[in-house]
A and B are shown apart, each in its own frame.
Chain A
Amino acid sequence: MRFTLKMLLGVAAAALAAANPASAQQISDGVVKIGVLNDQSGLYADLAGPGSVWAAKQAVADFKPAFKVEVIAADHQNKPDIGASIVRQWIDVDKVDLILDVPTSSVVLAVNQIVKEKNKVLIVSTGATADLTGKACTPNSIHWTYDTWALANGTGKAIVKTGGDSWFFITADYAFGHALERDTEAVIVANGGKVLGKVRTPFPGTTDFSSFLLQAQASKSKIIGLANAGGDTINSIKQAAEFGIVKGGQNLAGLLVFLTDIHALGLGTAQGLIMTEAWYWDMNDANRAFAREFAPANKGSYPTMAHAGVYSAVTHYLKAVTELKSDADGAKVVAQMKALPSEDKLFGKGSVRADGRHIHPMYLFEVKKPSESKGPWDYYKVRATIPAEEAFRPLKDGGCPLVN
């Protein structure tokens, strides 16, 4: 009797084992659902926002997947509680398989936990926090376009190498500003440059940067580093133009600036600003073609690196799902994305590292003078290319628990 019972159990177990992979070898609920979670109304709406939704849809259309793909979107209003509840509901009720884009570090880190717990996929394009591939890394998350470390490293190293070896920092006085300043300073010193001084600006709420800019001017440094973001960066650049700082021979280096910020500032104000980005629309024919399709659908605005990153990330995700023939197991999809080399028309060839960092070259741009600009949105010239292998934080330095 016992023997037959065991046999029965064995048969049942074998049947289950056979049935399980069979049921996993397909698209869950018959559709791959992509949820674009970002800021559609606030300060990050221009650089990501509705444009990211468009880019995700375009990537799906260009990929022509063999399965059904649906793209939905929501506005997290830059509040982690709203972002977290949307994501939980998306996964539990709407069966979303991939969470995409996600600006604002507090929202990124909150969503990251949920996606890991529910075993789905998170790909961040607009969010900047380097912790996502550091101590907060998970088997379910990938950081695509850039991070704070890459910006600090790219801007710091490339500027020092092209002659900007003395710096003065204007730093927003909170964790993000401190991190940018610390990372950039380390790179500057390592490459033989020196930091002549730094000043901390109260955050949030500083609107008058004049005394800080005068200190920076008096330091006679070649480069004034802006370790801040958003409205602080815009205000400090505007006021620097009013003081004639760039015309006086000093250059401003923005550590977190997007194309749409330059558009808002205008070339007259922003000229001479140096910054690192992952992608620019006017670099090759494929990028220009993408921008020409993007602009009419997005009120004439041109794509930022965040938008291009979304396109590139969705393409690679769909490739991995096609390969696996399944989207059910988030960690498996991410593992597949790490195993496959990535290639698409915007980011070219690349790869995803063990800690979830997508690896590609970064570029150091300088904002053109108004006289150099030949048309709408013609804002950047390339000052240096940072090769892929130098662009991101070395794997061992991040402290990601997945890497041992």
Chain B
Amino acid sequence: MIASRPVWIALLVAAALAAPFAVYPIFLMKALCFALFACAFNLLLGYVGLLSFGHAAYFGFAAYITGYTAKAWGWPPEVALVAGGAAAAGLGLVFGGLAIRRQGIYFAMITLALAQMLYFFCVQAPFTHGEDGIQAIPRGRLFGLIELGDSLAMYYFVLAVFGAGFLLIQRTIHSPFGQVLKAIRENESRAISLGYRVDRYKLAAFVLSAALSGLAGALMTLVFQFATLNNVHWHLSGEVVLMTLLGGVGTMLGPVVGAFLVAAIQQYLAQLGAWVTIVQGAIFVVCVLLFRRGIVGEIVARLRWLRAGKGK
């Protein structure tokens, strides 16, 4: 099984590279943006045990910053993208610094409250154009060379950014820093008694998660060429929880699977009209009842169980 791991990875990468020829590229890009967002969220929920209920704030704020800098100031896409991510990281530093002082439901409520404040700011601030949003944002030329108006080029750019974000999270989790995060998740008091400055670790993880969420939002802005209020709305904060739980919290691939599933439901069931939200709800109920660990979490657990059986 372990020997076949590189084979699996190679297959996944090949599938990702070939996908735009089989599936509609815009849909893939959107799903990849959500996947990066869900992975960033999962870093916090799955590996530090912090349930943030205001992650749309970082996603949406970065989307606005990227949109504004690319449209009003004509910044090239890669710079606008970094500006968006940096803005989200700054926001994460402020919000996280306040929120990590409390735990559990209080932490979730503080993140939600701060995110709502940001939402109201975005409704009012003139540069966001209220409910019209920032529209017709240019995709521009990547490094001044590659024309991103072409959807295939844009797809590979999105895939590359997603891959980089995914690897960064993977490395973080498997680093000594990640081990400390997991220790905090399992038993915070013990981590403190071992001499770790828990708050600093939590804040660092929070800022990283916010920055990557922001990167996902910024990427989405370039894909769709607009930034709107939906990106900062608490619905999206809820959706990212849904994606992560559906796919499997605390697994690397789980949020990716969850994001693709939710995006596919919203896109391909749009013809069903009023049924979209009902189907989404029903799937969530079924998942919670049948696979408590999420889709990927359940598969991993089954594989482990099988392997343990073989071992005997």
Contacts and interface: CB of A to CB of B under 8 A. Distances in A.
Is B one of A's binding partners?
A: yes
A79 B230 contact: yes
Contact of B131 (A77, A175, A202): A175
B229 to A, nearest CB: 7
Contact of B133 (A75, A86, A92, A106): A106
Interface string A258-285: 0000000000000000000000000000
B133 A45 contact: no
Interface in A59-101: 72-82, 84-86, 88-89, 92-93
B225 interface: yes
Interface string B209-233: 0000000000010001110111000
Interface stretch (B49-57, B101-109, B195-203, B271-279): B271-279
B130 A75 contact: no
Interface residues of A, number: 39
B123 A110 contact: no
A239 interface: no
A75 B274 contact: yes
Nearest to A179: B130
A233 interface: no
A183 interface: no
Contacts of B230: 78-81, 106
B124 interface: yes
Interface string A293-310: 000000000000000000
Interface of B: 24, 26-27, 30, 120, 123-124, 129-133, 135-136, 220, 224-226, 228-230, 266-267, 270-277
**Majority SS of interface residues in chain B?**
helix
Interface in A174-216: 174-176, 202-204
B228 A80 contact: yes
Nearest to B220: A81
A351 interface: no
Contacts of A79: 230, 266
A129 B131 CA distance: 10
Contacts of A45: 274
A106 B226 CA distance: 9
| Interface core residue of B27, B120, B270, B277 (most chain A CB under 10 Å) | B270
B276 A77 contact: yes
A85 B30 contact: yes
A80 B272 contact: no
A175 B134 CA distance: 13
A73 B130 CA distance: 28
B175 to A, nearest CB: 34
B220 A106 contact: no
A139 B26 CA distance: 25
Given A80-B224, A89-B26, A106 B132 contact: yes
B132 A131 contact: yes
B122 to A, nearest CB: 10
| Interface core residue of A80, A86, A202 (most chain B CB under 10 Å) | A80
A203 B123 CA distance: 8
Rank and list the top 4 A-B pairs by shortest CB-CB distance, nearest first.
A175-B130, A40-B273, A41-B274, A74-B270
